[in-house]
Structure 1
Amino acid sequence: MNEPPVALVSEVARDLLASRIGKDPTPLRWAISRPDAALAPELLAQVSVAFMSLDLVSGSATDKLAPELSHFFEQLRACAKLRWLHVCSAGADRPIFKELLARGVRITTSSGANAAEVSHSALAGFLALSRGVVRWVDAQRRHEWSPLKGTLAPRDIEGQTAVVVGLGPIGREIARLLDAFRVEVIGVRRTSEPVACCAEVVPYARLDAVLPRADWLILACPLTRETQGLIGARQLELLRKGAHLINVARGPVVREPDLIEALRSGRLGGAYLDVFEKEPLPAESPLWDLPGVLISAHCAGYSGGLHLRTQERFLENLHRWMQGAELQNEVAAPSP
């Protein structure tokens, strides 16, 4: 009888998973990643499965890895027999993932696990900006009674148009929520195949053609060669004057200097930003102090239940992997 595969996981993930995995026999053996302890080379040589769990990434940013995650990546590189890695995130755009794919390692993501939460955060930004909540807060800080009436009254939400770029689980849920507010949604994706709650769907090649109709530009796409730098000065200029931008995708989808200029000039009426070109966002960034800008620290998708949902996706794919079945949310290897 073959021995169960060895999985590289954090101690937190092992404790959470052990009670949920079948007990007779246990379908995994564990290699526990701890930043203060090196695993024996002979154990690393047996690792064929790895799970990058939420606890490993919570203290990291795009450009600053926490010790737990940095150590985990070092061990992944040392696992010569690694065959499959599951990650807790929806995206797989860290440089190490390209390295592993080039080695023939299969990578799957937890796409959809936080779709509702990211969408709710995007909607919170949408409502805060459209109803003038930023101005409420500013007035409250000044102890100033400043009602938004007359020419200061916000526009009606109903009848506005939002261009939603990316129609994966997050983009589709954003479209559904906006549709409930009677906002016309134009979706942008790789193909023009219709999507529920979108009045119209166009491919990326036609993005510029629909931007002049947009009161809102909402980014929910993955970071790929096609989407890196997708939104720059030209695209921001094409938007209706006073339009708003929401980015819950990845920072490099937007050319940040162009965004800052559009906000400073008043071409954009405001923005809700969860992601940035450099993370953590430097303290000297003008974005912190620009009026009409809401910032969250790349945490739009976090909630109390996210641990459980990412574990469920790992366990579902673990069952498929051990049965030799097709894996869900598998990342395509880059073309040569």
Structure 2
Amino acid sequence: MSQKHPLHVLCSEQEASALAAGIAALGQTITLCHPGEERAALAEAAFISRDITGRSTKFEIMPETEHFYTAVRAASNLQWMHVHSAGVDRDFYQEQQQRGVRVTASHGASDAVVAQTALTGVLALARKLPQLMRAQQRHAWEPLMGKDRTPRDLQGQRAVVVGWGGIGQRIAQLLQVLGLTVSVARHGSEPAGPGLHTVRYDGLRDILPETSWLILACPLTDTTRGLISAELLAMLPAHACLINVARGHVVDEPALIQALQNNQLAGAFLDVFYHEPLPAESPIWDLQNVIASPHSAGFSDGNPARVRQIFIDNLQRWIQGTL
């Protein structure tokens, strides 16, 4: 970009104080402005931090989020916007791209946390924690003994990781430490690495019959939307479990619900859904073989600082014209 003084950056009031030191270190004349201020209309860059989106989802926008979105739309000179998430599939982000605004995401900020969440789902289902917690609520002493209650050893089981970005790679590493055999399904056909059987997304049907854990960690694209269809779900063995820390629309949710209700799958850990918040009437809430998480896989107390640093680094590159 051509240097302008001062450069106006639209951000939340809450985030401004945390950004101050990093902004000052850039050695540029930068003015942080907020919705409601007259100078907000002059913004050439915007930072969508987690506190802005808050409890809003792709499907339901809270008033405080819409207030910021309105300010972004009113900034006629806006050229670049950075978002706290790893994905840019929200309608608002797509809208800004269509009007010519460059939109960047916080790739890598939450990779480790999301991978740990996926592993938590695997371990919780493998060790039958939902059953144990229900027994605890009933004050019932029910050891994991007997047919269909004794957990299967994880070592030697096959997991398929769908998506090979930073999250998928970390998930695979964690699973290998536990002794699982890992296969990878990815957009391209390049081998994921030594000892990792790799297929393209359209090759999943060849490996699902031998899969115990199907772990979704891919972005939502035209290729991955509806990728895990009813047909593919039916190819999984009955003891298999599904972990979804990707996007709800990667899997056919009605087909998944039916498979879980009919015990065609052993269980699922779901952090994402067709509609968020998950409607109160969804049968997912009451499925005893499901752990439902409110799209929180990437939440951690260290994430805002990592996102903030990515934004500041990108801001410097944007000013220099190298972003």
| TM-score > 0.5, shorter chain as reference | yes
Q: Compared with structure 1, are the counterparts of its residues 54 and 284 closer, same or farther at alpha carbon in structure 2 (3 Å cutoff)?
A: same
Between the aligned partners of 2:250 and 2:109, the Cα distance in structure 1 is 22
Task: Please name the residue that 1:120 is paired with.
Answer: 116
Q: Is residue 28 of structure 1 aligned with residue 26 of structure 2? A: no
Displacement of 1:150 in angstroms is: 3.0
CA distance in 1, matches of 2:227, 2:124: 25
Tell me which residue corresponds to 1:169.
Answer: 166
| Counterpart position of 1:16 | 18
The Cα shift of 1:295 comes to 0.9
CA distance in 2, matches of 1:197, 1:10: 45
Number of residue equivalences: 320
- Give unpaired runs (5+ residues) of structure 1: 328-336
Q: Which residue of 1 aligns with 2:48?
A: 52
Q: Give the root-mean-square deviation of aligned CA atoms.
A: 1.5
1:303-322 aligned within 5 A:
303-322=300-319
Aligned: 1:233 with 2:236: no
In the aligned structure 1, how far is the partner of 2:4 from the partner of 2:89? 34
Matches of 1:311 and 1:23, distance apart in 2: 14
Provide, for residues 70-119 of structure 1, a one-character-per-residue CA deviation record: whole Å limited to 9, x for no partner: 11111211111111000000010011222211121111100110011111
2:286 to 276, 280, 289: 289
| TM-score normalised according to structure 1 size | 0.92
2:157 is the alignment partner of 1:160: yes
Q: What SS does the corresponding residue of 1:99 show, helix, strand or coil? A: helix
**1:39 equivalent in alignment to 2:41:** no
AA aligned to 1:129 is: L
CA distance in 1: counterparts of 2:266 and 2:47, whole angstroms:
42
State the one-letter code of the partner of 2:22: R
Match of 1:181 in 2: 178
Change (3 A) 1:44 1:65: same
**For residues 76 and 197 of structure 1, do their structure 2 counterparts lie closer, same or farther at Cα, with a shift above 3 Å needed?**
farther
Residue 134 of structure 2 aligns with an amino acid whose one-letter code is D
Q: CA deviation at 1:209?
A: 1.7
Matched, 1:324 2:318: no
In structure 2, what residue type is equivalent to 1:124? T
Q: Report the counterpart of residue 252 of structure 2 in structure 1.
A: 255
The answer on whether the counterparts of 1:248 and 1:300 sit within 8 Å (CA) in structure 2 is yes
CA offset at residue 182 of structure 1?
1.0
1:141 corresponds to which residue? 137
Matched to 2:127, the amino acid is R
SS of structure 2 residue aligned to 1:113: coil
Given the alignment of the two structures, is residue 273 of structure 1 paired with residue 270 of structure 2, yes or no? yes
Distance 2:235 2:280 in 1: 30
Greater CA deviation, 177-186 or 57-66?
57-66
Classify the secondary structure of the residue corresponding to 1:208: helix
Distance of aligned partners of 1:198 and 1:114 in 2 relative to their CA distance in 1, 3 Å threshold: farther
Q: Which amino acid aligns with 1:302?
A: F
Offset at 1:63?
A: 1.7
Kindly provide the amino acid, as one letter, of the partner of residue 110 in structure 2.
Answer: N
- 1:66 CA displacement: 2.2
- How far residue 312 of structure 1 moved from its aligned partner, in angstroms, is 0.6
Cα distance in 1 for residues equivalent to 2:62 and 2:110: 22
TM-aligned CA deviation for residue 23 of structure 1: 5.4
- Aligned residue in 1 for 2:7: 5
Task: Measure, in 2, the Cα distance between the counterparts of 1:198 and 1:295.
Answer: 32
Identity of aligned residues (%): 46
Q: Is the 8 A contact 1:179 1:197 kept in 2?
A: no
Distance in 1 (CA, whole Å) between partners of 2:128 and 2:194 is 26
SS of the residue 2:6 aligns to: coil
Measured in 2, the distance between the counterparts of 1:158 and 1:60 equals 40
For residues 118-175 of structure 1, what are the alpha-carbon distances to aligned partners after superposition, in whole Å with 9 as ceiling and x for unaligned?
1111111100100111111111111111111132211110010111111111111000
Contact 2:205 2:235 in 1 (8 A): yes
CA deviation after TM superposition for structure 1 residue 198, in Å: 5.6
Quickly say closer, same or farther: Cα 1:2–1:282, change in 2 above 3 A: closer
Deviates more, 1:67-76 or 1:189-198: 189-198
Q: Write the mapping of 1:78-157 to structure 2, written as runs, cut at 5 A.
A: 78-151=74-147, 152-157=149-154
Letter aligned with residue 319 of structure 2: M
Could you state the TM-score of these two structures normalised by the residue count of structure 2?
0.95
Q: Which stretch of the first structure deviates more once superposed, 207-216 or 86-95?
A: 207-216
Give the drift of 1:255.
Answer: 1.5
User: What CA deviation, in whole Å up to 9, does each residue of 1:273-325 have, x standing for no partner?
Assistant: 00100110011110011111001110111000011000010011011111111
> Is contact 1:8–1:31 with CA below 8 Å preserved after alignment?
yes
Distance, in Å, in 1 between the alignment partners of 2:309 and 2:4 is 25
Q: Is the 1:21–1:27 contact (alpha carbons within 8 Å) kept by the matching residues of 2?
A: no
